Amino acid sequence: MQDKIVDLIVAEATELNEEIKNPIPVAAGVNAPLFGGDDGVLTSIGLVTLIVAVEQAVEDAFETPVILANEKAMSMKNSPFRTIGSLADYIIALLKDNGNG
């Protein structure tokens, strides 16, 4: 499941890269920085755009809706939006909570 989710995120990030000034280094795979910290490349608007696209891709692939920007995500000590890998791990946890996985 991890590989499929990472692939979904990379595909959406690659598409987003065509529209943003500072592209996400998708070649870094799970270590690619997204938002926050010293390495984050996305603006707030870029993050929201990616989140919406990834939510739709996950729903299409797993036939279950997920909401990534929720109270749980905002209250976590380590943001799930820092890297592609942390976002994938967060999505897996959400899917398991929804009975998929």
Residues 41-50: pLDDT tens digits?
999 999 999 9
Task: Provide the whole-model pTM.
Answer: 0.94
SS3 content of the chain, % helix, strand, coil (to 5): 60, 0, 40
pLDDT of residue 22: 92
Which residues, 6+ apart, have CB-to-CB distance to 29 below 8 Å? 6, 10, 84, 85
What band does 38 get if pLDDT is binned at 50, 70 and 90? confident
Give yes or no for residue 101 having a pLDDT over 70. Answer: no
pLDDT digits (tens, 9 = 90+) for 2-20: 999 999 999 999 999 999 9
Which residues, 6+ apart, have CB-to-CB distance to 75 below 8 Å? none
Which fold does the domain 2-97 belong to in CATH? 1.10.1200
Q: Where are the domains of the chain?
A: 2-97
